């Protein structure tokens, strides 16, 4: 966890110096899904990867070897027999606001990916976002220095993001 804290602190320092995320949201699709199909207000995204952030902060990212933490997680989160994928990254909307996102995709019967859930955090307090799997849960940590995270759950036929920790301003 100390390595993750170092990465988060570095991200916060970079943001304070530049006001921008370490990676500019520039893609117009995610796994062949147009950004507008994910959220009609979005114009671009960047899905985070270890390789992408390695160029920005090689030392901290190279030590990110805890198998719990990743930027992408595959599984069957709702146990319906179809593959699911969770991804995190940054988005830019039509007004120019940049924020973090969590995207859960489900494999469609024809083999393509379809959007199952989108969580957002427009807070610019730090430019970091990561997933953690604990047992059958997937957790989204958009702000490790804030000690809160969202747990992705499947209930009543849909995904929800339940915030854990001292967060008082749920998005």
Q: What CA–CA distances, in Å, run from 71 to 58, 111, 112, 139, 168? A: 16, 22, 20, 11, 25
- The CA distance from 146 to 143, in Å, is 5
Backbone angles phi, psi at 6, to 5 degrees: -65, -40
pLDDT greater at residue 171 or residue 47: 47
171 part of a folded domain: no
Q: How many domains does the chain have?
A: 1
Domain membership flag for residue 22? yes
* Rounded mean pLDDT, 142-165: 83
pLDDT for the residue numbered 101: 92
Closest C-alpha among 168, 170, 140 to residue 153:
140
Instruction: Pick the closest to residue 171 from 75, 84, 85, 99 (CA basis).
Output: 99
Classify residue 169: in a domain, yes or no: no
Instruction: List beta partners, residue 169.
Output: none
pLDDT at 112: 94
- Side-chain half-sphere of 19: how many Cα atoms within 13 Å? 2
Average pLDDT over residues 65-79: 82
Q: Residue 123: which domain range?
A: 2-164
Average pLDDT across the chain, whole number: 77
Q: Is residue 170 in some structural domain?
A: no
Better-scored residue on pLDDT, 68 or 100? 100
Please state the pTM of the whole predicted model: 0.79
Per the domain annotation, does 86 fall within a domain? yes
62 in any annotated domain:
yes
């Amino acid at each position: 966890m100390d390595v993750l804290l170092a990465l988060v602190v570095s991200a916060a320092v970079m943001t304070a110096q530049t006001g921008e995320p370490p990676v500019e949201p520039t893609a117009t699709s995610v796994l062949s899904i147009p950004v507008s199909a994910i959220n009609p207000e979005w114009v671009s995204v960047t899905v985070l990867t270890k390789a992408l952030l390695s160029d920005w902060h090689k030392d901290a990212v190279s030590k990110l070897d805890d198998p719990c933490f990743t930027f992408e997680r595959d599984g069957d989160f709702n146990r319906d027999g179809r593959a699911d994928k969770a991804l995190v990254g940054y988005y830019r909307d039509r007004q120019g606001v940049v924020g973090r996102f969590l995207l859960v995709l489900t494999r469609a019967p024809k083999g393509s990916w379809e959007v199952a859930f989108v969580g957002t955090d427009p807070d610019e307090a730090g430019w970091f976002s990561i997933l953690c799997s604990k047992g059958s849960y997937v957790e989204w940590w958009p702000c490790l220095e804030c000690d809160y995270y969202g747990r992705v759950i499947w209930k009543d036929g849909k995904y929800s993001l339940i915030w854990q920790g001292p967060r008082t301003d749920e998005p």
